[in-house]
Structure 1
Amino acid sequence: MHVLATLIQAENVYPDLSGVGGKETLLSIVGALLTFVLIVAVLMLIVSAIVWAVSSDHGNSHTAAKSKAGLLVAVGAAALAGAGVAWMNFLLNLGDTL
């Protein structure tokens, strides 16, 4: 019975990150890029909201529509950046359970 339990026992599946040369540098670059994307998305969100408010107040509907689209793009970019990290963590945790 002990041999059967040993054969059925699943092994952990996890990427071998030690095989990548310069792993620490790669992780710091990815972290810096993610920070840059989130900062630009927040700044774009603020600028688009201000332009939308001012252009709506002055009756410029074309600029208001463009700034509304910019606002939605900024929210989408921030959501995708955060979702990418969450998706990668989910897949890495899933690998341990397979």
Structure 2
Amino acid sequence: MVPMNIDITPNDSGLPGISQLRTIVGAVMTVGLILSVLALIVSAIVWGFGSNSSNPHLASRGKVGVLVSCGAAVLCGAAVTLINFFWAVGQQV
């Protein structure tokens, strides 16, 4: 016996509140991007202060902060694209 072909797709009208949830997720992404910019500014200030005060520990912390904030911004910006990519990969399995 061959199992039946089951075809289930996401349904954006199946539950109440889906459009509000989509709005909330968009707002959280915006907050994440704003916080990433704030972290970049603070980390750049720490990096500059550490470099000018001959404090290598503080300068390295600032460098790490700059990299982490840029990585967080990339993840926030690419979140939808990443999810869509892996959704498409999952559909081909």
For 1:17 and 1:70, locate their aligned partners in 2 and report how far apart those are by CA, in whole Å: 38
SS in 2 for 1:54: helix
TM-score (norm. length: structure 1): 0.74
TM-superposed CA distance for 1:82, in Å, is: 1.5
Greater helix fraction, Structure 1 or Structure 2: 1
Higher relative contact order (CA 8 A, sep 6+): 1
TM-superposed CA distance for 1:90, in Å, is: 4.0
1:23 aligns with 2:46: no
Show structure 2 runs of 5+ residues with no match. 1-6
In structure 1, the partner of 2:67 is 72
In structure 2, the partner of 1:48 is 43
1:81 aligns with 2:84: no
CA RMSD of aligned residues (A): 2.2
The question of whether the paired residues in 2 share the 8 Å contact of 1:48 and 1:71 is answered with: yes
For 2:43 and 2:52, locate their aligned partners in 1 and report how far apart those are by CA, in whole Å: 14
Q: Which has the larger radius of gyration?
A: 1
Show structure 1 runs of 5+ residues with no match. 1-11
The question of whether the paired residues in 2 share the 8 Å contact of 1:51 and 1:67 is answered with: yes
- Residue identity over aligned pairs, in percent, reads 48
The question of whether the paired residues in 2 share the 8 Å contact of 1:14 and 1:92 is answered with: no
Number of aligned residue pairs: give it: 87
